[in-house]
A and B are shown apart, each in its own frame.
Chain A
């Protein structure tokens, strides 16, 4: 599928701010699943953009506005081609050898440890989570392919909580969402990741876009979040726990991280009165015929 993405963020301040530095993780990823045809970022006031690739492989665009201002706008326009793939077509590793495959993968690429070991308020220990949850946790059956257990986990997440728009805070604690049995896509992704990690499976967070045509949450925003887990033989496989769905060519991945904090689309620091009004974000995702 070919999509056009437009993503605009408007920040407004009641008092002037200055020496404003911004980092954006907004550029869609270029990988085996999607090709970036074009990607442009504009700012208002106009600024000189620079770029680097972060630890997680995300493209970071950054800039500064030094002069006093009360409004700062960033606008991304990108065209992306996603590839249709069958998530089940890969050379499977026999279930009894899967653990060994994972151990080898982590040993040869130590940064994968982050996706197993990382614990935070967003992806707590399974013990912390168990205190807030009534359902029994799904178990990984080592006699079966890991993918089967992950699919069970995927189906289990929506039994713990339901989608409730605006019910949790950005980077809010996962136990809070679980305790109130409701959350947004970030919480669903974090819950999946937390349980997968408790099994010792590398799992990471993905921030991106989902074609509004298949987004069933009734959410007007097309920004979305899901999880990826490392599956022996297949590599990273995307799990959209909000929809109990494996990701497909209707998804566009933007930034990855250990949790939503790492993959935050916009991060900034400025001098001046900190009482900003909440950012106004508008996103348009349109299929290009």
Chain B
């Protein structure tokens, strides 16, 4: 999979988003830079304080697990200096994401249908049949329009040369979009003058885009569409987002126990009786969705919902079974998947990836663990991961054992030094690493919301941006011209 050109190469300097060199900002940052220089740190301090108060007042929070059993609710960490993406850069990102999401949906339709891609030998059968997220229970069911991932969040990073690369696909229940919107709301409030100087494209219409896509799926027609956002409940780390989106879209927020399936029709239990549900925007994993067909011990799901879906009486968003397409062991094949279904070269490249099922790859990774990121294929949120540069001999040994026990369950990537950006940290301007998660909605057509969630590794030198691992965020400005 990987050519060994990496061997012997030295860590290079990460790309800086803000500065072209030590003294000069990039052109599109000049206005902002001039302003910061003119007003000084005390003005920034005042604005940082203002943003904190606003986040607190708005109740923008997220929940961190691991420190205690219950999880701790924290104020969303926000850095006031925006990340700016030029119109030209965005054209490439947008077309690359549309291409990728289109191909991944064709791939899912094929996997749960004829499996041409396996018969043609483009991807190995073992990859799918040994994947935890290949759902045999839904084989043969064709969702409306053949669309599986109505909402995708694709993580993009920038390498040392400034090239945008796809780091991972999130096709199950991608989260973070509420923070993209909240960041914009706060930024407009604290830096209003810049929204006149820069032509920043809007992101606030995301809920209405999503709502339109959900309505269009209603089996009873868009006019009468009853939509429910299915949440696992208040202990979920994304519960803030569930309430936010339900409120913004004006749809019901419900847990599995609030619904019941009667003869293949899904109902919401309301104070005035049962009310038919047409579309479920679910924010729980396949495993927990229906105790009748998936995990029988799940109390979060709705028994019978898969049969109702098969009967065509309800739409489920994203479609069950989507997870196999963002399985990290499938990821290295996505460029081939794009070529196979679309006959095009990928517009955005992958990060080079080692497959642990390949003995040579595996040995190379074991010999170079300090320079690798090892990831469990079915985990997300920065869990089940070894960051080579900050690893200890004990943690490396542990991961070696884990990989040897179940090679299909792991991949490795050489550490990519994510691009950096200026951040306002406790009174100083400092560089921190970041990535970008744009959101893609697949309704009538594929639409990429111009912007996304820029996540920042708040700890100096850290490359881990996940909110669940102490990451922060920035407003992301995509320029109209």
Contact of B129 among A23, A114, A268 (CB under 8 A): A114
Check B263 for interface membership: any CB of A closer than 8 A.
yes
Question: Which of A105-113, A142-150, A213-221 forms part of the interface with chain B?
Answer: A105-113
Q: Are B292 and A107 in contact (CB under 8 A)?
A: no
The chain A residue with its CB closest to the CB of B116 is A110
In the complex the two chains form, is A117's CB within 8 Å of B129's CB? yes
Which of B119, B129, B130, B311 is A108 in contact with, Cβ under 8 Å? Answer: B119
Supply 15 A–B pairs (Cβ within 8 Å), ascending by A. Answer: A19-B260, A19-B303, A21-B303, A50-B307, A55-B139, A62-B307, A64-B262, A107-B119, A110-B128, A111-B115, A113-B125, A117-B125, A267-B292, A267-B296, A269-B291
Known interface pairs A55-B140, A117-B130, A269-B296; A110-B119 also in contact (CB < 8 Å): yes
Q: Could you tell me how many residues of chain A have their Cβ less than 8 Å away from some Cβ of chain B?
A: 26
Task: Kindly state whether residue B55 has any CB partner on chain A within 8 Å.
Answer: no
The 5 tightest CB contacts between A and B, nearest first, are A269-B303, A55-B136, A113-B129, A269-B291, A21-B303
Interface residues on B, range: 20 to 34
Residues of A in contact with B (beta carbons under 8 Å apart): 19, 21, 23, 48, 50, 52-55, 62, 64, 66, 106-108, 110-111, 113-114, 117-118, 267-271
- Measured in the bound complex, the distance between the Cα atoms of B305 and A1 in whole Å is 40
Residue of B126, B261, B262 near A117 (CB, 8 A) is B126
Q: Smallest CB-CB separation from A66: which chain B residue? A: B262
Question: In whole angstroms, what is the CA distance A55 to B119 when docked?
Answer: 18
Least CB distance from B243 to A in Å reads 25
Provide the bound-state CA to CA distance between A48 and B307, in Å: 14
- A113-B129, A117-B125 given; 16 more Cβ-contact pairs under 8 Å: A21-B261, A23-B292, A48-B263, A53-B140, A54-B137, A55-B136, A55-B137, A64-B263, A66-B260, A66-B262, A108-B119, A110-B118, A110-B125, A117-B129, A269-B303, A269-B304
Given contacts A55-B140, A113-B125, contact A64 B118 (CB under 8 A): no
| Binary CB contact string for chain B from 208 to 230 against chain A (1 if under 8 A, 0 otherwise) | 00000000000000000000000
A283 to B395: give the CA distance in the assembly, Å.
Answer: 56
- Tell whether, in the assembled complex, residue B292 and residue A269 are in contact, meaning their CB atoms are under 8 Å apart: yes
Interface presence of B264 (CB below 8 A): yes
**Residues in B298-328 with C-beta less than 8 Å from chain A:** 303-304, 307, 310-311
- Cβ B136 vs Cβ A50 within 8 A: no
Select from chain A the residue with minimum beta-carbon distance to B114: A110
Question: A198: shortest Cβ distance to chain B, in Å?
Answer: 16
A212 nearest CB across to chain B (Å)? 32
Kindly state the separation between the CA atoms of A23 and B296 in the bound complex, as whole angstroms.
13
Which chain B residues numbered 256 to 296 have a C-beta less than 8 Å away from chain A?
257, 260-264, 291-293, 296
Closest to B118 in A: A110
What residues of chain B lie closer than 8 Å to A118, measured between beta carbons? 129
The answer to whether B115 touches A110 (Cβ under 8 A) is yes
With A55-B136, A267-B292, A269-B303 as known contacts, state yes or no: A113 contacts B126, CB within 8 Å.
yes
Interface residues of B in 98-141 (CB under 8 A from A): 115, 118-119, 121, 125-126, 128-130, 136-137, 139-140
* A21 in contact with B126 (CB, 8 Å): no
CA gap between A110 and B137 in the complex, in Å = 16
Complex: how many Å from CA A113 to CA B126? 7
Q: How far is the CA of A23 from the CA of B307 in the complex (A)?
A: 10
Which residues on the B side are within 8 Å of A107 (C-beta)?
119, 121
B264/A268 in contact, CB under 8 A: no
Query: Within 8 Å CB of B140, what residues of A?
Result: 53, 55
Other-chain contact of A64, B119, B137, B257, B304 (Cβ < 8 Å): B304
What residues of A have a CB within 8 angstroms of the CB of B296 in the complex? 267, 269
Chain B residues near A64 (CB, 8 Å)? Answer: 261-263, 304
Residues facing A in B221-264 (CB within 8 A) are 257, 260-264
Bound complex: CA A53 to CA B264 (Å): 16
Q: Counting chain A CB atoms within 10 Å of each CB, which of B119, B121, B307, B310 scores highest?
A: B307
User: A52 — which chain B residues lie within 8 A by C-beta?
Assistant: 307, 310
Cα-based distance from A180 to B129 in the complex (angstroms): 32
Residues of B within 8 A of A55 (CB): 136-137, 139-140
Chain B residues within an 8 Å CB radius of A111: 115, 139
Contact flag A50-B311 (CB < 8 Å), given A19-B260, A110-B125, A269-B303: yes
Say how far B383's CB is from chain A's closest CB, in angstroms.
25
B112 to chain A: closest CB distance in Å?
Answer: 10
Instruction: Please name all residues of chain A whose beta carbon is closer than 8 Å to the beta carbon of B126 when the two chains form the complex.
Output: 113, 117
Q: How far is the CB of A242 from chain B (nearest CB, A)?
A: 27
> How far is it, in angstroms, between the C-alpha of A64 and the C-alpha of B292 when the chains are bound?
11
A30 to B: closest C-beta gap in Å: 18
Most chain B C-beta atoms within 10 Å of own C-beta, residue among A64, A107, A271 = A64
CB-contacts of B132-184 with A (<8 A): 136-137, 139-140
How distant is B250 from chain A, measured CB to nearest CB, in Å? Answer: 28
A21-B292 contact in complex given A107-B119, A110-B118, C-beta closer than 8 Å: yes
The CA of A62 and the CA of B306, in the complex, are separated in Å by: 12
Across-interface contacts of A66 in B (CB, < 8 A) = 260, 262
Q: Report whether B263 and A50 are in contact in the complex, using a CB–CB cutoff of 8 Å.
A: yes
Residues of A within 8 A of B291 (CB): 269
CA distance A275 to B268 in the complex (A): 27
**B contact residues around A271 at 8 Å (CB):** 257
B120, closest chain A residue (CB): A107
Please give the distance in Å from B406's CB to the nearest CB on chain A: 11
Cβ-closest chain B residue relative to A268:
B292
Which residue of chain B is the closest to A116 with respect to CB atoms? Answer: B129
Complex CA distance for A237 and B261, rounded to whole angstroms: 40
Closest chain A CB from B303 CB (angstroms): 4
Give the residues in chain A near B128, CB-CB below 8 Å.
110, 113
Report A-chain residues with C-beta under 8 Å of the C-beta of B304: 21, 62, 64, 269
Residues on A with beta carbons closer than 8 Å to the beta carbon of B119: 107-108, 110
CA–CA, A108 and B125, complex, Å: 11
Q: Which residues of B sit under 8 angstroms from A21, Cβ to Cβ?
A: 261, 292, 303-304
- Closest chain A residue to B298 by CB distance? A269
CA distance A32 to B261 in the complex (A): 37
CB closest residue in chain B, given A19: B260
A196 CB to closest chain B CB, in angstroms? 17
Residues of A within 8 A of B130 (CB): 117
Residues in A whose Cβ lies below 8 Å from that of B310: 52
Once the chains are docked, how many angstroms separate the CA of A21 from the CA of B307?
A: 11
Give the CA-CA distance A271 to B293 in the complex, in Å.
16
